[in-house]
Structures are given as structure tokens and as C-alpha cells.
Structure 1
Amino acid sequence: MAAPEHPPNARGGSNRALLLATVAFAVSFSAWSLIAPLAKTFQDNLDLSNTRTLFLNAVPVVLGSLLRIPFGALTDRYGGRRVFTAILLFSAAPAALFGFVDSYWGLLVVGFFLGVAGASFAVGVPFVAGWFPKERQGFALGVYGMGNIGTAVAAFGAPAINKHWGRPTLGVVAALVALVTAVVFSVLAENPPRPGAPTRYGDVIRAGWRLYRLALLYFVTFGGFVAMAIFLPKLLKDWFGYSLTDAGLRAAGFAVIATLARPLGGWLSDRIGATTVLVVAFIGTGINAAALTLLAGNPRIVPVTLSFLTLAAFLGSGNGAVFKLVPHEFPDATGAATGIVGAAGGLGGFFPPIVMGIVKDHFDTYALGFVGLFAFCLFCLAVVVAMRRGRHGAPTPVTG
């Protein structure tokens, strides 16, 4: 009789591993997202253009995106316990400095190093996937993806702490939370009983379109989530004149909906297939992008709210569906594949805010940015339909 994929003691530790990884991911993402909720304050105090302000928001995103590639490989080689702990310890320093720098260039440097926290996603995926059998990985990775809630914590918590106790306190609190989480994770976490073999990136890249299509789908689903989470506080303040706290609260609602939808997308992918979930996600995202394009000329709070909340649900479910596919397509190279696909998703969050800033500065409207999202959704929908038609048999694992 075949041995079970996980021994009983491994199954017993899987839930603890998932909980620890999700909390660590949420803390990392809250540090990664510290700048965006206060962007409008920095813009007013430093007299910045829309483009420079949104570039400031996007700097942590680009470094976090690019670092997902080496950190995914490091996780394959050294295990998630060491790598996640190192990220949290490192992130505490720029989080603390964030409370004390006041110049534009100082904030850019701090944001650059805060980007390290954004690489945490590529560490947790192979760590969590190694604890769960394939038929449960979609849901487990969806739960892990709920660490996106860190974006909502920053969106709501950062303006509130800054308002009542000042930015130095905000930086110190963020640093202390990262340090405590690092210690807890180092002490309680264990690497999975089924670790992936160290994999050369060349082996994964040679998978070609099978890899690149996942990167494209994540570029739009996760990139769309990050871009909107970064951009929404400023957009709401520009459109409706909300205070930073009110705009942050509404942006936090967007992040919460997207976060809760992610495990739902993974759970549905386990049952009806990831490509089916992605078809629905891209249709829904495209419809909302079209609606926001029309609303940009005359924004009204009720339809704008409904559009953004349903957009969050579709993007979140799409996130969960894509990362059901990653360990399935690359079962022996999950860390390396996650690094590449995750980097694409992070870069998807880097470019849209900058484009939105340029569009706003030159055309005094955000509509063209939503047109771009609509076009990407149409292309991704065509890719997913082709995937559904072309599926036959199991994928060939990519190994090192």
C-alpha cells in the first residue's frame, strides 16, 4: 500500500505552519504598504506633482517584486523558516526610519528598502505548499494570501496613528511588530516535511509560455490589487475630498474584500478548476474597469463604491486561482516559479500608479488608466480560454 503523502504528525503541523506564515505575510505587507496611506500628506507638504507622488508609492513595489525571484530560490534552498525570519528582521530598520525622514529623496530611500518586505510572498508560497497535499493547496494558499490584509491594516492604521501620535510613533510601532513576529516565527515555525529540491531558474524559464502565461495572469490580478490599494486613498481624496483617515478606511475596505476573496478563489479552484474561476474573474474585472472609465468624468460615491468593491472581489478570487495553478504546474520548483510569477504580479502594481499620475497630470482625468485595465482583462480572458481548450493530461514537472 502506498504511503500517505504526509505523515500524521506533518498533517497536524500544517495548520500551525499556515497560521504562522499568514501572520508573517500580513506583518510584512503592512510594512511594505506604509507610504501609500500618507502619500497625499507628503504631496501637500513637499509640493509634489501627481507623478512624483505616485512614483513614491510605487518604489517599494518594484523592489519587492524583483526580489521575489532570488527569495523564491533561497526558500527552495534554505527553507522558509530562515528566509522569512530574515526578511522580517531586515524590514524593521526601514520601518523605524520611516517615522523620521522628511525629504522626498529620504522617503524614496526608505521606500526602496521597505520593498524587501514585499518579497515575503515568494517565501510563504513554497513554505505553505510543502505542508499540504495537492488537492488542498488551492485553499491553503488562498488562506495564506489573506496576508494581503496587511495592506488594509496600513491603509487604516497608518493615518490614524500618524494623526494621534505622530509619524515617529508609527515607525517605531511598525518596527516592533516586525521584530516580535520575526522572533515568534523563528521559534515556532518548522520547514515542511516535503521540501522542494533546489531548482535553477533556467530550468523553470525553459518552461516557456506555460510559465509566462501564469506571470501575465498574476501581473493583472495581483498587480491590479496592489495598484488599487496604493492608488485608492489619493483617488478618493481627489474625487470626493475625504480626509486621509476616511479615504484610508474606504481603501482598507477594498483590501479586506480582495483578501477575503482570495481563499474563496482557491477553494473554488480546488472544486471547479482554476481556469473557470479565472474566466469569471477577468469578465468581472473588465466590466468594473469599463464602469470606472465612464464614472471618472462624473464620479458618484455609490456607483464608485460598488465598482471598487466588486472589482476587489474579482481580483482577489483571481489571485487565489493563479496560485492554485503555480504548484500544480511546477510541483518540484514551486519556490522558483513563485518568485518569477510573484515578481510579475508585483510589477503589475508598480506601473499603473505611475501611469495614473502621468495621465492625471497631462489630461486631468483618471479614465485612461481604467481603459488600460479593461484592455488587459480582454487579453487575459483570451489566454485563459486558450488554456481551457488546450488542457490535456497532467503537466510535466519542472525539476532541478
Structure 2
Amino acid sequence: MCGHRPSQSVDQTSLMVALPLTLAAFFVAFACWTLFAVLGVQLRHQFALSHLEFALLLAMPMLSGGLVAFPLGVATQRFGGRRVILACLLALMAALLLLSSVHSYTGFLVAGLGLGAAGGLFSAGLQYLVTYLPPSRAGLVLGVFGVGVSGAGFSYLIVPVVERAYSWQLAPLAYVLVLVVIALLLLVLTDPEPTDRSQRPLVSLGVSLRFLARSRVWRLCLYFSFLFGGLVGLGLWLPDYLSTQFQLSLEDGARWSLLFALPVVLAQIVGGIGADRFGAVTLLRLVLLLCLVPLFLLSYPDTDLAIAGIERTILLSIRPTLDWVVVGLVLLSFAMGLGLGALLRLLFDEYPRHLGVVGGLMLAAACTTAFLLPLMFGLAVAWVGVASAVFMMLFVFGLCTWVVLEWASRSDRCMGPLPPTG
């Protein structure tokens, strides 16, 4: 057994209320978190941004999300997930109101920092749901919660429509109204976690910092950085990548990007169920290997080959089409979604009583990755001049992640008993 299970004294029927509301909060927050993935394409032309300036705008919510993830994880462990969820929703509302009123590049960067509050909803939601979790179905429940990452697809779909019908400033205000409704429903229909220490231990800052010294925690951070950070970083970059690479309009680029966000919805649930049945580590090892296949295919740039034949030179031109790229992205998204479902089950198996703290550390690592990836993508396009270099970078990242998991699973097959957490 890995750790101790939280007490299941709470009636499991409460899960039918807590899970949908927590999922709705995470879904809308993630949609807010990736607003710049759609709005940024227009802002890039409006402010004549360079590749690096545009990448910084995309990555700003990830930067602030990474900075606050661990502190919010500690706060979640001490004060309860429900309180932190409500605080994050209020911070998001303030950032969205600011976003709808600013008119300068600096103002959008500041608003982007505020959008990073959405990151706190991940660890807070995990910690809140663990109160109601039946251990035998933890993978399924956490996989359903992880579906909230598909909120990015909602922005791809709705923001271009709102912009065409009215103006893009209305989209942040619409999100504010939705967040107000979710916050009110959480206040009215749910209760805070039990204050009994036996059910929700109050973890000091010193104990929380001890997790930084655990190699197992850092391995979880690495896996989450590739699966979640890579998913977010690539999702932020895709609308502009597809629009530029295939001469598409903003709306068409966002619509095709939606196909990258949607497979995660089903895949995370399937991954959670598979982890419940076959084991999280077994499924995760397979999924990381599967991710490398579409990444390798997507990495191949436009190529012209001159093959010297016996009697003549054979010219071969390789030009990946939009359909080819979209199929690869769908396969990649589904594989990463399977991995996320399995990884959340693995987190529950190893740290069932400290999801807030460890989940916060994992999110901080993933946000740092999601912040750096668009910057690195921008630099790769500016310096190398090969658009598919973004997939080459992700392929190397995924390969390193798989090697680490293989090494860890071979050296510690059963993942071992957890040391005391104090």
C-alpha cells in the first residue's frame, strides 16, 4: 500500500454535486487561461509584435500560474480546496475585467499575469474531490476532473464567433458572468471539507517543503510537465502555427486547433479507467512511447529531395498537408490525454493525503514548461526558420521523459512505500 487513504465518511452521493461543479470551474478557468491563444493572433497584428513578444504574451498566464501553483497548493492543504477554488475564481474575474478594458501591450501582459490564477484550480480541485473519492474509482473520477483541460477548445470555438458578431472585449465579460454563476453554485450547494484533522491533515510549510527533496515527486513533475505542460504550450501555439503555415484565417486556425483539444476529453476518462484496471505505471509507460510516434511524423519539415538515379535525377517533394498535420495532432492529443488520466491516478496512489501540495508542485513544473515552450517555439521559428521545429523539441522532451520513467520503473517496480510525511 502506498500511503493512507483519506477517510470515506462523507456520503459518496455528494460526489454527484462536487464533481460537476469542480469540473465546471476548472473547465471555464482553463478556457480563460488560454484566451491569448485566440486573441493573441489578432493582438500580434494590432501591435506588430515580434515572434518573441508574441510568445511572451501567450506564455504570461503560464508564468504566473507556475509562480502561484505551489503556494496555492500549500494553502489548499491547510485551508481546504473549496476556499482556494473560490479565491481563484474571484482573482480570475478581476483579471478578465482588466483584460476587457486595457489598450496597450503592457496592459495585456499584466492581465495575462492575472489569468494565471486559473492554475490554482487544479490542485484545489484535486484536494477537494479527494474528500469524496472512492479509492477503487479514483482514476475514473480524477480522469473526469481532468477533462477540464478541454476548456481551451471552448475558447477556440466561442471567441472567434463572439469577435465576429460583436467584439472580442465581450468574450472576457461573458466568462466573468459564467464564473459568477459557478461561484454562487459552489457557495450554495457545497460544503467545505471536514475540519477533522484525521480527514484533512493540516500540513505546515516546513512539511510541505520536504516534498521538494523527494526524487519521486520530481519524477511526477517531469511526467506532468511533458503531458500537461506540453499539451498547453502546443495548444497555445497551434492557432498561429496553423494560420501561418497553411494561410488560414484566425477563425479557421482556431477551428482546426479545436480538434487538438477535443480528444483529451475522452482520452483522460479512458486513461483513468485503464489505470484503475491495469495500473497507472504500466499505462503511462505505454502512452509516453505512443506519443513519440505522431511527434516524429509531425517533426518532418517540407522537404525537396534530389535522388541521383542511373539515368536521371529523381525529384521528390514532401509537403505535409493540413489534413496530415491535423490527424497527427489528434493522435498526439489522445495519447497525451491517456497519459494525464493515468498520471492523476498515480498521484492519488502515491500521495492520497497530500494532493494539494504535490499537485501544486506538479502544476508549477508544468506551468514553467508551458511558459518556456512558446518562447522556445518563437526562437526556433526566428532562428532556425523551420516551423516543424516545435515538434522536434517536443519529441526530444518526450523521449527523455520516457527514458526516465523506464529507468524509474525498472529500479523501483512497486514504487515502494512512502516515507513518513510528518
Q: TM-score range by the shorter chain?
A: over 0.9
Cα distance in 1 for partners of 2:352, 2:6 equals 17
Cα deviation, residue 155, structure 1: 1.6
One of 301, 313, 316 as aligned partner of 2:334? 313
Distance in 2 separating the partners of 1:223 and 1:296? 27
Matched ranges for 1:191-210 at <5 A: 191-193=192-194, 194-199=199-204, 200-206=207-213, 208-210=214-216
- Pairing of 1:264-283 with structure 2 (within 5 A): 264-283=270-289
- How far does residue 18 in structure 1 lie from its aligned partner after superposition? 1.1
Q: For the residues of structure 2 that align with 1:349 and 1:232, how far apart are their CA atoms?
A: 13
Q: Distance in 1 between matches of 2:156 and 2:6?
A: 43
Q: Are residues 1:171 and 2:177 paired?
A: no
Structure 2 counterpart of 1:365, which letter?
Answer: V
CA–CA separation in structure 2 for the residues paired with 1:307 and 1:387: 29
Task: Structure 2 unaligned segments of length 5 or more: list them.
Answer: 304-318
Alpha-carbon distance, 1:192 to partner:
4.2
Shift of 1:196: 4.1
Secondary structure, in 3 states, of the residue corresponding to 1:120? helix
Structural mapping, 1:177-326, within 5 Å: 177-193=178-194, 194-199=199-204, 200-206=207-213, 208-295=214-301, 298-326=319-347
C-alpha distance 62-273 of structure 1, shift in aligned 2 (>3 A): same
2:315 aligned residue: none
**Pair 140,172 (structure 1): closer, same or farther in 2 beyond 3 Å:** same
Moved more, 363-372 or 53-62: 363-372
The answer as to whether partners of 2:33 and 2:61 remain within 8 angstroms in 1 is yes
Cα shift at 1:130: 2.4
CA shift digits 1:7-27 (9 cap, x unpaired) = 4x5211122111111011111
For structure 1, which segment, 363-372 or 108-117, has the greater mean C-alpha deviation from structure 2 after superposition?
363-372
| SS at structure 1 position matched to 2:418 | coil
Deviations 1:38-87 (A, max 9, x none): 21111111111122111100000111122111111111111111110111
Say if 1:173 and 1:93 are closer, same or farther in 2 by CA, change over 3 A: same
CA distance in 2 between counterparts of 1:222 and 1:353 reads 14
Q: Distance in 2 between matches of 1:344 and 1:393?
A: 21
Structure 2 distance, partners of 1:296, 1:73, is 47
SS at match of 1:119: helix
Question: Are 1:388 and 2:409 counterparts?
Answer: yes
Taking the aligned partners of 1:111 and 1:311, their CA distance within structure 2 comes to 27
Q: Does 1:131 align with 2:153?
A: no
Deviations 1:243-302 (A, max 9, x none): 111111221221111232112111111111111221222112111111111145533112
Counterpart residue identity of residue 168, structure 2: R
Letter in 2 for 1:202: L
After superposition, the CA RMSD in angstroms is 1.9
Q: What displacement does 1:178 show?
A: 1.5
- Give the match for residue 92 of structure 2: 91
State the Cα distance separating 1:5 from its structure 2 match: 4.8
Q: Is the 8 A contact 1:54 1:357 kept in 2?
A: yes
Query: Which residue of structure 1 aligns with residue 399 of structure 2?
Result: 378
Kept after mapping to 1: 8 A contact 2:381/2:389: no
In the alignment, is residue 369 of structure 1 matched against residue 390 of structure 2? yes
| Shift in CA distance, 375/398, structure 1 to aligned 2, threshold 3 Å | farther
- Structure 1 partner of 2:81: 80
Counterpart of 2:307 in structure 1 is none
Of 157-166 and 294-303, more deviation after overlay is shown by: 294-303
8 Å contact kept, 1:229–1:255: yes
SS class of match (2:300): helix
Q: Is the 8 A contact 2:130 2:352 kept in 1?
A: no
Please list the CA deviations of residues 99-152 of structure 1 after superposition, one character each: whole Å capped at 9, or x if unmatched.
222211111011011111222111111111221132221111110011112111
Amino acid at match of 2:374: P
Residues 108-127 of structure 1 mapped to structure 2, 5 A cutoff:
108-127=109-128
Q: Which moved more, 1:161-170 or 1:51-60?
A: 161-170
TM-score, reference length from structure 2: 0.89
The one-letter amino acid paired with 2:137 is R
Matches of 2:100 and 2:258, distance apart in 1: 21
Structure 1 outlier segments of 4+, above 4 Å: none
Do the aligned residues in 2 keep the contact of 1:130 with 1:192 (CA within 8 Å)? yes
Letter in 2 for 1:158: V
Q: What percent of counterpart residues are identical?
A: 30
Counterparts of 2:211 and 2:250, CA distance in 1: 43
Q: Provide the rounded CA distance (Å) in 1 between the counterparts of 2:30 and 2:190.
A: 19
* Alpha carbons of structure 1 residues 129 and 397: separation in structure 2 relative to 1, 3 Å: farther
More off after superposition, 228-237 vs 374-383: 374-383
Segment of structure 1 superposing worse, 378-387 or 66-75: 378-387
Report if aligned partners of 2:26, 2:148 keep a CA contact under 8 Å in 1: yes
Task: Tell me the residue number matched to 2:15.
Answer: 14
Equivalent in the alignment of 2:58:
57
Contact map agreement 2:7 2:131 (CA 8 A) in 1: no
| Deviation, structure 1 residue 374 | 1.2
Task: Quote how far apart the aligned CAs of 1:214 are.
Answer: 0.4
